[in-house]
Structure 1
Amino acid sequence: MKVAVFHPGTQHSRQTALALQQLGQLAFLATGLFDRPGGRLRRLAKLLPGAAGQALVGELNRFASPLLDPQLVRSFARYELPERVLARSGFGSVASMFDAFANDWFARRIAKMASAEGPFALWGYDNSSLTAFSHLAAAKVPKILDRTIADWREWNAAIDRIAVRHGDWLGPQVRPASASLIDRSDAEYQLADHVVCGSPFVIDSVMRHSGVPQIEHKLHLLPYGFDPALFGNAPAPEARPEGEPVRFLFAGQLSARKGIQHVLEAIQDFSPEEASLTCVGSIHVPEARLSTLRSRVDFRGPLARAEMPALMQAHDVLVLPSYFEGSAVVLLEALASGMAIISTPQAGLGPSPSSGVMIDKPDTALLGAAMERLTSDRDLLLSMRRAAITDAAEYNHDAYRRNIAAFLAGIGI
């Protein structure tokens, strides 16, 4: 039986679809935006004046997947593009309302397509699968839920801890998960025949919080892989020249959830000659927390994915002291780029003791000690960066494809 993969946005759906395509088991990938050279959106971008056209080109560049067969991709921009335009224009609440409506609309369409053309197994993602899984057309096919984030009840416990010590870092975008979102998660667990998770942290959180009967028998560990078209061709790391600072990088949403407060507190204990810090991603903390740091930290804002490999190769250490993830793919991309890593168990799979430092929990003192260890021992730093390239082989696309093949064989697909 072939598999229909669907997600109105991205997550890692393109990597899943590519692996299934290479295995000969992809029915189709259904998504919102897909960059087709010469397609309608590219033609529209050429017609739009100035900044509007450039913005659309930048957005499309984020959705380039040159290894995917365009004939196996069904793209529905009307389900995704309006939400992105609304969000980028400052209408966040309206964007969220449209997103919820469009996701259900999109999922109904996918369930009908998969039934009419198949039957195909359905591979969907958290918060986007309930409608498709509950549709009558999906009643008799295997339903695979890709749980890309830990259980939301785990986040609600974490945000309470953050509020006690770093409440002033909680921007308005960072909120507890609603009861309706939690209920939706449990409904997706219930309907799914199998739930694949990117890290043990996700599995543990679902088992700890969900009351869905027999949930433990549905859970499968399926480590993610990095994009072979962008990462994996990094040159062997070389020692940082004497006198240059160790270059630390934070990549991801700058939010209290990802532990940016610990990174920015820790960097202040180092002189600019010892360490530099670059932060890439949208800012979700109050500006008051950053204003005094802008002369010390290079805040780049969001970057196109195509820019990330070169940026990573120009840095030494990725720091991600996160409170709550699924399994951050940025860790795998950093390994493939020859970066040492400092992270938490909550951040997900990635570094081994040879390629990084796993601190016990998100904490400024623990993070600072790990950073000090790597700034003071350049030989250790170089050794970890070289080991990162080796460790990345466990998470390259070939490994991800093999893991998917084994998973599907194990469940009889």
Structure 2
Amino acid sequence: MIERRSTSKVANAPYRFPGVTAYWKHLQNEDPDVVIVRGVTRWFCRIAAICAIGQGRRLVIYDQEDAAPSAWGSTWIRRAVFKYLGIPHVTSRLSSTDSRLASGNALSLPFGSPFEPTRAAELGRRLLQWPPRILMVAKYRERKGHSALLKALSIIPKSMSFSLTFCGEEVTPSDTAFRRTLLQEARALGIADRLKFRNNVAHDNMDSVFSSHDLLILPSLFEPAAVSPIEAAWAGCAVLMSRDSGTRGYIPEGDAYDFLADDPEDIARAIAGVLAQPESLRQARDSCFSHISAVANDGAILRLFEHLAGFETRRSQ
């Protein structure tokens, strides 16, 4: 009540959630079989969860934490309590083991392909172009690692030809200032002639961006659920990403496909390995597409979702 009486210039500030009575009535009108809430650390998600439990509806909690977190940490305890109440947690992070076994674990429910199956197959078979075309899709923020990537590309052997595209959102003065700073850095490093920007692309048109590049790199720090590497892999790109990224499991195992995000030398190592020759890049592209097709295909996701939603139980009844 105190927060709702305070003022804010942000129209969608987190405390502007519906009241309990209003949400209770809304949920009754919608009459859903399953309610999925985005964690329970936000007040509006807590209200949704309370209303769903109060109305006896099937509740599933989605978060972006590790599928198997450290025991007795806040994530582990929160999940264990809800699991005891019969309420499952799912996460977009992939686990190499059965994450349902331990009390504080969550079931991995992968992000699926953003493309229709026929379109994904078409993108996966597209021809490799050389010199390679590198892409980074990210907002113009310091933690995304644009500068680290520029430094890494200036380190790799000059005999390696490439072009680089930064694809982001330029909607505020700070975005424009950040982009200009990146161009200045590229000039200082001697690679400005290889850099271009492609901004404010509608999501429906992103397949054309991915399909016109061969390698996506995301050196982002503290990234729990990066989606651009997943979309790029489905579009037939090779993908290199931060070792601690939450969606690292969508890309093949091994340090050939990851790096330390705060270490330009290690980023350069990974890039040089993929760009050593056309066959290296072709193999990386094929491996990334094959891996994500195996771990995040529509059939596997549907079966997991049906299990969580209780549809399998209903069918047996």
Shared topology, TM-score over 0.5?
A: yes
> Could you list the per-position Cα deviations for residues 212-262 of structure 1 after superposition, in whole angstroms to 9, with x for gaps in the alignment?
xxx944622222112234961415132324xx3x21111122323333332
Match of 1:239 among 116, 123, 128: 128
Aligned to 1:99: 13
Aligned to 1:131: 47
Structure 2 CA distance for aligned equivalents of residues 119 and 383 of structure 1:
45
Contact 2:65 2:93 in 1 (8 A): no
Structure 2 CA distance for aligned equivalents of residues 361 and 410 of structure 1:
41
Match of 2:150 among 261, 264, 274: 264
Shift of 1:381: 0.6
Aligned CA RMSD, in angstroms, stands at 4.1
Contact 1:251 1:330 in 2 (8 A): yes
Contact 1:250 1:320 in 2 (8 A): yes
Contact 2:124 2:234 in 1 (8 A): no
1:309 has 2:207 as partner: yes
Structure 1 CA distance for aligned equivalents of residues 202 and 78 of structure 2:
34
Task: Name the CA shift for 1:136/1:337 in 2 (closer, same or farther; >3 Å).
Answer: closer
Aligned to 1:365: 265
Shift of 1:370: 0.8
Aligned to 1:290: 182
Contact 2:34 2:309 in 1 (8 A): no
Contact 2:134 2:213 in 1 (8 A): yes
1:333 has 2:231 as partner: yes
Structure 2 CA distance for aligned equivalents of residues 309 and 393 of structure 1:
17
3-state SS of the aligned residue for 1:135? Answer: helix
Aligned to 1:227: 114
Displaced runs of 4+ in structure 1, greater than 6 A?
Answer: 186-192
Aligned to 2:297: 396
3-state SS of the aligned residue for 1:123? Answer: strand
> Could you list the per-position Cα deviations for residues 19-54 of structure 1 after superposition, in whole angstroms to 9, with x for gaps in the alignment?
xxxxxxxxxxxxxxxxxxxxxxxxxxxxxxxxxxxx
3-state SS of the aligned residue for 2:90? Answer: strand
For structure 1, the residue ranges without an aligned partner over 5 or more in a row are: 1-92, 152-182, 204-214
Task: Name the CA shift for 1:130/1:260 in 2 (closer, same or farther; >3 Å).
Answer: farther
Contact 1:225 1:329 in 2 (8 A): no
Shift of 1:190: 6.2
Shift of 1:323: 2.1
Contact 1:228 1:396 in 2 (8 A): no
Structure 1 CA distance for aligned equivalents of residues 255 and 266 of structure 2:
17
> Could you list the per-position Cα deviations for residues 346-375 of structure 1 after superposition, in whole angstroms to 9, with x for gaps in the alignment?
321321149961225542111111111122
Contact 2:79 2:104 in 1 (8 A): no
Aligned to 2:283: 383
Structure 1 CA distance for aligned equivalents of residues 90 and 182 of structure 2:
37
For structure 2, the residue ranges without an aligned partner over 5 or more in a row are: 1-7, 68-73
Task: Name the CA shift for 1:198/1:361 in 2 (closer, same or farther; >3 Å).
Answer: same
Task: Name the CA shift for 1:262/1:412 in 2 (closer, same or farther; >3 Å).
Answer: farther
3-state SS of the aligned residue for 2:35? Answer: strand
> Could you list the per-position Cα deviations for residues 310-342 of structure 1 after superposition, in whole angstroms to 9, with x for gaps in the alignment?
111111111012222333222221111111111
Aligned to 2:93: 199
Structure 2 CA distance for aligned equivalents of residues 399 and 369 of structure 1:
34
Structure 1 CA distance for aligned equivalents of residues 242 and 207 of structure 2:
22
3-state SS of the aligned residue for 2:18? Answer: helix
Q: Structure 1 counterpart of 2:91, which letter?
A: C
